[in-house]
A = this chain, B = another copy of it.
Amino acid sequence: MTAVDQHPAAAFEDNDQKPVGHGRMLRKEDPRFIRGKGRFCDDVQLPGMLHLAILRSPVAHARIVSIDTSAAEAHPKVKAVVTGAALAEMGLAWMPTLSGDVQAVLATDKVRFQGQEVAFVVAEDRYAARDALELIDVEYDLLEPVIDARRALDPSAPVIRDDLDGKRNNHVFDWETGDEAATEAVFAAADVAVTQDIVYPRVHPAPMETCGSVADYDRIDGRLTLWSTTQAPHAHRTLYAIVAGLPEHKIRVISPDLGGGFGGKVPIYPGYVCSIVASIVTGKPVKWMEDRSENLTSTGFARDYIMRGEIAATRDGRILAVRTNVLADHGAFNGVAAPVKYPAGFFGVFTGSYDLEAAYCKMTAVYTNKAPGGVAYACSFRITEAVYLIERLVDCLAYELKMDPVELRIKNFIQPEQFPYKTKTGWVYDSGDYEPTMRKAMEIAGYDELRAEQVERRARGELMGIGISFFTEAVGAGPRKDMDILGLGMADGCELRVHPTGKAVVRLSVQSQGQGHETTFAQIVAEEIGIPPADIDVVHGDTDQTPFGLGTYGSRSTPVSGAAAALVARKVRDKARLIASGMLEVSVADLEWQKGSFHVKGDPTKSVTIQDIAMRAHGAGDLPEGVEGGLEAQICYNPENLTYPHGAYICVVDIDPGTAQVKVRRFIAVDDCGTRINPMIIEGQVHGGLTDGVGMALMEMIAFDEDGNCLGGSLMDYLIPTSLEVPDWETGFTVTPSPHHPIGAKGVGESATVGSPPAIVNAVVDALKPFGIRHADMPLTPSRVWDAMRGAPQPPI
């Protein structure tokens, strides 16, 4: 089913005018954010609260010889100093990660990356805690740092994770997908095969709010309340229960307003555990908040893939196969920073939006002396790297075939009648209709005119580039066991309760980091149950107040919890129908639902509103035989598949030939995320992701020197885009509803982050075509572009 441009998303900017349901509606949460009344983790103030600061390793790889905490302990405002040795006595020096590895909460034997947690101080205020860190004396015996992933595989390299029994090298895993032999056969027979080495550098989500927590352990009833900057409060609670031995029903994880997450707030960081331990030890509430430097050097890095991509095609541009070999750098601990046991998303979509004959991928991951990597930064299990790879490869192929990159893509698209489409790695794309989306982007861009302009400009020696990317994502983690964290499935609970006066509350297992859940979910429920969104409270981010579920990452809120919300509202509506039938004294079959009320068919004067029904359900009169009181329902929704949003992006860049500065002149993004609940929020998501993309394509990289010192520890070094670096985004949409989602929605949280880097890089490479360049690695800073223009070798990664 395809319905391009036919979605009835009328423009209702004024919320008072907002009818029931979907549409453009101002965000319910914005009044508090705009007025500075958001309640973030660092706003939590509890009586008697203490403050925690973490001593971090200044070196990348060293044995700890001794730690002297006596001077810090003597500080008059210090309440506790805790080292790895003390944690070891409690059995808490190591914690399991979300990926089946273990990570040191505080280093005991040795430090494995610069910034690793070595000790913590708890003091009366955060200044005293920081001061006291400087009084701790640690003696280190330096070891060779392993910074390059290729070096990590060398048998002569030191073993970083000597804590792992029987681990004789720095391997994390070797995995593969697809049919190697079949792919080799296709490659051997193909007219054309292009090979390209492509690096996706290490980057950081850099949310506005750093990570932190406030732990409040009640010694009397053994209850732990933990405010923390987490995207996955329920998964964290269960993990704390399993790890720390605290009974699960005595743990309350509250994820208050979050200042961005982008996947970086999925993992459990040592700081959270430290604050818990500190509260248990001191009997007081304890706050830990990272500063910017800690956040940028120690917390949750993403990407860091060295990829060799190969693409095979016929001479006339029929793509036959893709093959890739990936070396993934996970840093010192695997997947503490990602809900990824397995690069599932990469394996799912590295074949892109194209109908191939064969595909194969092999991936090797290694430990290095870098901070833990692999964070799910707008990546849905590594789809970001996969989309970048295939969209660069297609452009390389177009370069070799001297074809227009749009033409090459359209020629190879999976066709609408092929959906559900099973890829050569066994994934099933649920739906798609790619060509209209591509054509819509071309129409907005004025693609042919742009190409004509490019010809003219090139003739004048100007460097104008037009870059295309077309992506298919796999989001809303469904029932795939290879995407399951904790062995806790991929289901999400949702509860809807209508109060006696007809106002309602919906409780979500997922958690907003700024996406506007309070609005979107109110609209989803409103559409189904006919109560205005303003009358529906959305509760999330508190394990005591919400049903179990995995949290918000991988664009899964709308695909999974959104489906749950729609279905639970339908359950409530079904019950309301029974009650209405009693109130109107007609059979259920004689009732007609018109958003917000049931009418007797054929008699428009007889009707009851959902509000009337709510009051009746709570005792204001009799209920039909067998109908329980109350008007509420709960659901645990397990999607039958992921959803597969797609999009077509076109980027226009100009490069200053004198400075090699890249300017993104225009960017056209046409997204298809199925049914659109609130187009304004979707556009906001897309704008944010596109900005991310500009950062990654042109500016952002976490770099290390050869000793393993991180070179990006502040926003002076790690550059993120501002309004000056980005154009006015031009967005459009098509609507191809997901056939298995109850309202056809797909999830859009990561689309633009996933889809924009290849469009920008393709545009830059296109601009550099006069120099005979087929590829250049991100970030395309002026110096890299300058070097590329001059044929210099790529700088080392």
Contacts and interface: CB of A to CB of B under 8 A. Distances in A.
The residue in A489, A503, A637 that gathers the most chain B C-beta atoms within 10 A of its C-beta is A489
Contact of A248 (B31, B491, B503, B621): B503
A698 B490 CA distance: 65
A672 interface: no
Nearest to A634: B634
A544 B499 CA distance: 11
A501 B47 contact: no
Contact of A628 (B484, B500, B636): B636
A536 interface: yes
Interface in A171-206: none
A488 B45 contact: no
A545 B548 contact: no
Given A489-B619, A619-B484, A548 B499 contact: yes
A488 B221 contact: no
Contacts of A500: 238, 248, 488, 548
A250 interface: yes
Interface string A39-69: 0000001010000000000000000000000
Contacts of A505: 249, 544
A220 interface: yes
A653 interface: no
A481 B547 CA distance: 34
A488 B620 contact: yes
Interface in A274-296: none
A619 B35 contact: no
A493 interface: yes
The residue in A45, A539, A618 that gathers the most chain B C-beta atoms within 10 A of its C-beta is A618
A460 interface: no
Given A35-B220, A249-B535, 12 more contacts: A31-B221, A247-B503, A248-B499, A249-B503, A484-B619, A487-B619, A487-B621, A489-B619, A489-B620, A499-B548, A500-B548, A544-B545
A38 to B, nearest CB: 10
Given A220-B37, A221-B31, A619-B491, A249 B628 contact: no
Total copies of the chain: 2
B221 A32 contact: yes
Q: Which 4 A-B pairs have the closest CB atoms?
A: A489-B619, A249-B503, A630-B636, A491-B629
A501 B628 contact: no
A401 interface: no
Contact of A619 (B31, B241, B488, B637): B488
A98 to B, nearest CB: 14
A599 interface: no
Contacts of A329: none
A635 interface: yes
Nearest to A495: B634
A488 to B, nearest CB: 4
A242 interface: yes
A491 B630 contact: yes
Contacts of A637: 628
A508 B488 CA distance: 27
A547 B632 contact: yes
A237 B632 CA distance: 18
Contact of A47 (B45, B488, B491, B539): B45
Given A619-B484, A638-B629, A238 B31 contact: no
Interface string A212-252: 00000010110000000000000001100110000111100
20 contacts: A35-B220, A238-B501, A241-B501, A241-B503, A249-B504, A249-B535, A249-B537, A487-B619, A488-B618, A489-B618, A490-B619, A539-B544, A544-B545, A547-B630, A547-B632, A548-B630, A628-B635, A628-B636, A628-B638, A630-B636
A497 interface: yes
A632 B634 contact: yes
Contact of A501 (B248, B491, B632): B248
The residue in A536, A545, A618, A619 that gathers the most chain B C-beta atoms within 10 A of its C-beta is A619
A489 B629 contact: yes
A537 B241 CA distance: 15
Interface in A239-279: 241-242, 247-250
Contacts of A638: 628-629
Interface string A603-637: 00000000000000011110000001110101111
A44 to B, nearest CB: 11
A367 to B, nearest CB: 28
